[in-house]
Amino acid sequence: MTKKFIIVELTVDPANDGQRLDKFLAHRFSKLSRTRIQSFIERDLASDRPMKASSTVRTGMVVRMRREIEDEPETPTAFATLYLDDTLLVIDKPAGLPVHPSARYHSGTVTGRITERYGPGFASPVHRLDRETSGVLVCARTPGALRSLSDDFFHGRVHKTYVAIVHGHPAQDDLLIDAPIANGSALVRIAMRIDSAGKPSRTQVHVVRRFVYDGKPMALVEASPLNGRQHQIRVHLAHVGHGLIGDKLYPDD
């Protein structure tokens, strides 16, 4: 049987600016081993110029990789367009739809769905939302818009508020969670963790309502990350004993 391949495009965001190529790919494909990442670089890059593991990636750069088409989990196909002009596309991302291609997902992503609806190269996501998170996602349609908006997100000039239901009844109506976040351990690389040697991370939390469901105390909260760490809200809320309902990766500490 002849193998079929697709070209996956990975856009470098400010958080990865200046990284080595192998570290950038390891961040995007967190479940893959270093050996697999090295194999990708040696055999599957579809770059216009030669690149190696130590090559530096910059904000806005597009890394193209050849990926074998494999069966992937089904993801939502529909999304609402909230705003569209010559430089911006803003969508309502449904839960269950990953933003970027990964080891498990290639076409069933936001970038893939945008291509299906509008055509190749129409827009690139400026920031990220976790796969199971729904909400507003900003995409840029020009290199200039991508650089400018990425810089705004990276330097905290964009205010983001998330709504979540958590375990338990927080004692305070308003709290600031200040705990540094680091990459996961060798055993669970996809998960982030609280670590004194990690990057400074703060999340502002406001309790909207406390309630009991099926005999279990829960709360509706608004959470605003003051930094942009991966899984920040999930990690922080679990750290203070009020993990998100249904979050299997971050149980309450």
Greatest Cα-to-Cα distance within the chain, rounded to the nearest angstrom? 61
Mean pLDDT, the chain, rounded, equals: 88
pLDDT tens per residue across span 141-197: 998 999 899 889 888 899 999 999 999 999 999 999 999 999 876 445 568 899 999
User: Which one of the listed residues 85, 130, 152, 195 is annotated catalytic?
Assistant: 130
pLDDT > 60? residue 65: yes
- What pLDDT, on the 0 to 100 scale, is given for residue 105? 83
Per the structure block, which two tokens stand in for 211? 């309630």
- What pLDDT, on the 0 to 100 scale, is given for residue 81? 97
Q: How many helices (H) and strands (E) does the chain have?
A: 5, 12
Q: Strand 162-167 vs strand 181-182: parallel, antiparallel, or unpaired?
A: unpaired
* Parent domain of 197: 162-239
Q: Which of 115, 132, 154 corresponds to the end of one domain?
A: 154
The CA distance from 212 to 5, in Å, is 50
Same domain? For 91 and 141 the reply is yes
Question: Is residue 253 among the annotated active site residues?
Answer: no
Same domain? For 146 and 176 the reply is no
pLDDT > 80? residue 7: no
H/E stretch holding 60: none
Q: Residue 57 CB: number of other CB atoms within 10 A?
A: 23
Same domain? For 126 and 186 the reply is no
pLDDT > 80? residue 124: yes
Q: Kindly state the percentage of the chain with pLDDT values over 70.
A: 91
Q: Strand 62-68 vs strand 124-125: parallel, antiparallel, or unpaired?
A: unpaired
Region of 211 (left: φ > 0; alpha: ψ -120 to 50; beta: rest) is beta
Q: Which of 117, 133, 154 corresponds to the end of one domain?
A: 154
Most confident among 82-86, 98-102, 151-155, 249-253 (mean pLDDT): 82-86
H/E stretch holding 146: helix 143-154
- What pLDDT, on the 0 to 100 scale, is given for residue 189? 54
Q: Which of 136, 154, 172 corresponds to the end of one domain?
A: 154
Same domain? For 136 and 192 the reply is no
Mean pLDDT along residues 72-99: 95
